Chain A
């Protein structure tokens, strides 16, 4: 029977199938960070287990880290304690550790690919739902809970039922100012936040083929926001070019051997999906969210829909708009904003900073807007400087911060104050996600840049320097 890309990678990692139960699923690569791993190590130790394959686990500090003065001791005692616990656990068990200030440090889903740890056809997990990012390379990658982190540490396997298969095809050419983030927000708005629950998604079609690896990562990253366990894109020459020569990618004969496997990683003609969707690139415009879940997104020029026109309960919808202090029929364009956040594992890569810079170049940040520009890793910082983007940022009145998750989940000091409205390139607009009482509009780096300059929600197409 013709196989899908997903079948090929999944099936080759099944150690055994449990009768009337999940598969015993082998994990090639495991990322850990300070927030979801400490209790797993406690569990491991209390059972008297050890880490079976320490070379398959990689630790980086990101969720809790400050984004200024990283050379100084971390002030928040609880955060410092978690960072220390990560370092101690890594050391004790022989796991590589990229702590604060390390040249390889950054957001786990940014540094994995940068260092060649993320490979096509691999299985990758991490105690973070946006692990789906790594699917951009044709890997099966998804988030796990702390119990499962302990399973991987002590056995290199987890127990998972095989998800169902969905394919999403987007064909055609994207219009001016329409970015991978918009493609993802468009798909999520169509699917709702639970439309892909129970599925693993393959993205196919012109739009994804044309995308850079950074763009593919943005799309796969957001798969979880429609409920999917993960999303993946078949590897191609772009994928191989991206990974070639990185620190941990196979070299020489091992590369050739791996390549033989990678070249088998595509969905065969006639392979079946449980469900399939087709969208047109030309229907997608720059997107923005207006509610408290990522499925509540519309084209930036559109008005907030009426409760009667959306799926789901009216009470839930009204509660959401009430939290945002928005009304049915409001136009998004022109809403006054207070904060802009450029960063996160969704849009914290070099391409995102390039996009942001393309709009702010020669313009000025609006005075009343506070902007946090947080690169995803030190390597991104280096590249920003190499390309002179830092100068553009400074000349426009912005400041570049140090890498970390930052205001994506606001575990450090980067919290949007209660009631304030933020345009954010991150992935979640849940109530209080960016700080208690904060209100979040998810958008692309272009929309964020245009809004930062104008001080109100702005269609970036009006500012694109033709």
Chain B
């Protein structure tokens, strides 16, 4: 599934400081019945965004006008725990977000994000708190995520932190490539390996 390249992104951000946000909240199971990738934007955080009658919950950050159009979400610690449903990462992307920042990510969610073109940026707990405070003080506070230099910074103050991503995944994100392109290129090596398996 191709995605747009990611280089440097400057944007305001949605704050979601709740910890342990799980994939059942990001995309509830009842919306996993599709056989195609569609409507994941509408159902993103469905039960936290909307009441049972479909009216939006005014106090949920994704519904608040002051953050509208942000391409970054700053989430609480242990973001994306739970299921392996890639639908969660699709809904992040399809909602219009390109980057999630948190002090800790669940493994599978992080992996899925990287595979669909969402950059998971892990920062220190202190820096995450700084980001939350800056957004609280000014909902229009901008954050720059610079992938080539692996830094995330607050535009207003210039405060910045570097983040880790392996060279291979970074190259993929910069170019919009995915793993299948790589694996298909080494098909012969894989089939030779398969021959050696005992079962």
Contact between chains at B166 and A147 (CB < 8 Å): no
Minimum Cβ distance to chain B for residue A206 (Å): 29
CB pair A151–B180 under 8 Å, yes or no, is yes
B36 touches A53 (CB 8 A): no
In the assembled complex, A301 has its CB within 8 A of some CB on chain B: no
A155 touches B180 (CB 8 A): yes
Which of B35, B37, B194 is in CB contact (< 8 Å) with A53?
Answer: B194
Partner of B106, one of A146, A197, A258, A319: A197
Q: Which residue of B lies closest to A433 (CB)?
A: B24
Judging by beta carbons under 8 Å apart, are B180 and A21 in contact?
no
- Chain A nearest CB: distance from B113 CB in Å? 9
Question: C-beta contact mask, B91-118 vs A, less than 8 Å → 1, else 0?
Answer: 0000000000000111110011001100
Q: Which of A23-49 contact B (CB under 8 A)?
A: 24, 26, 28, 35-36, 38-39, 42-43, 47, 49
What is the number of residues of chain A that contact chain B, defined by CB distance less than 8 Å?
Answer: 82
- Nearest CB of B to A290, in Å: 15
**Pairwise interchain contact B47-A432, C-beta atoms closer than 8 A:** yes
* Binary contact readout B27-43 vs A (1 if CB under 8 angstroms, 0 otherwise): 01110111111000000
Q: A21-B169, A22-B166, A157-B190 are in contact. Are A129 and B198 (CB under 8 A)?
A: no
A431 at the interface (CB under 8 A from B): yes
The answer to whether the Cβ of A366 comes within 8 Å of any Cβ in the partner chain is no
Inter-chain residue pair count (beta carbon < 8 A): 206
- For residue A147, which residues in chain B have a CB less than 8 angstroms away from its CB? 1, 86, 112, 115-116, 178-180
Chain B residue at minimal CB-CB distance from A15: B193
**Cα–Cα distance between A21 and B198 once the two chains are bound (Å):** 27
Other-chain contact of B78, A52, A144, A227, A431 (Cβ < 8 Å):
A227
Q: Does A261 contact B (CB under 8 A)?
A: yes
**Smallest Cβ-Cβ distance to A76: which chain B residue:** B33
B61 within 8 A of A: no
Please report the C-alpha to C-alpha distance between residue A287 and residue B178 in the assembled complex, in whole angstroms.
43
B35 with A81: CB separation less than 8 A: yes
Q: How far is the CB of A432 from chain B (nearest CB, A)?
A: 6
A357 CB within 8 Å of chain B: no
CA distance A39 to B24 in the complex (A): 19
Which A residues touch B34, using CB under 8 A? 38, 78
What residues on B are CB-neighbors of A313 within 8 Å? 17, 19, 76-77
Does A425 lie at the interface of the complex (its beta carbon under 8 Å from any beta carbon of B)? Answer: no
B82 at the interface (CB under 8 A from A): yes
Partner of A49, one of B85, B108, B167, B184: B184
B37 & A127 in contact (Cβ 8 Å cutoff): no
- Asked if A129 contacts B180 (CB within 8 A), the reply is no
Query: Which chain B residues lie closer than 8 Å to A155 at the CB level?
Result: 180, 183-184, 187, 190
Chain B proximity mask over A161-178: 1 for CB below 8 Å, otherwise 0: 101000000000000000
CB distance A150 to B167 under 8 Å? Answer: no
**Is A428 interfacial (CB 8 A cutoff)?**
yes
Does B189 lie at the interface of the complex (its beta carbon under 8 Å from any beta carbon of A)?
A: yes
A164–chain B nearest beta-carbon distance, Å? 11
Q: Which residues of A contact B30 (CB under 8 A)?
A: 410-411, 436
Contact between A312 and B77, CB atoms less than 8 A apart: yes
Q: Is A82 an interface residue (CB 8 A)?
A: yes
Contact, CB under 8 Å: B32 / A411: yes
Measured between C-beta atoms, what is the minimum distance from A199 to chain B in Å? 9
Q: Which residues of A contact B (CB under 8 A)?
A: 15-16, 18-22, 24, 26, 28, 35-36, 38-39, 42-43, 47, 49, 52-53, 63-64, 76, 78-79, 81-82, 85, 119, 122, 127-129, 131, 142-148, 150-151, 154-161, 163, 193-194, 197-198, 224, 227, 229, 250, 254, 257-258, 261, 293, 295, 312-313, 315-316, 319, 409-411, 418, 428, 430-433, 436-437
Known A145-B85, A146-B87; 12 more pairs at CB < 8 Å: A18-B182, A24-B186, A39-B1, A82-B33, A145-B111, A147-B180, A148-B111, A148-B115, A158-B179, A197-B107, A428-B22, A428-B24
What 6 pairs between A and B have smallest CB-CB spacing?
A: A21-B168, A20-B167, A145-B86, A143-B84, A38-B35, A145-B112
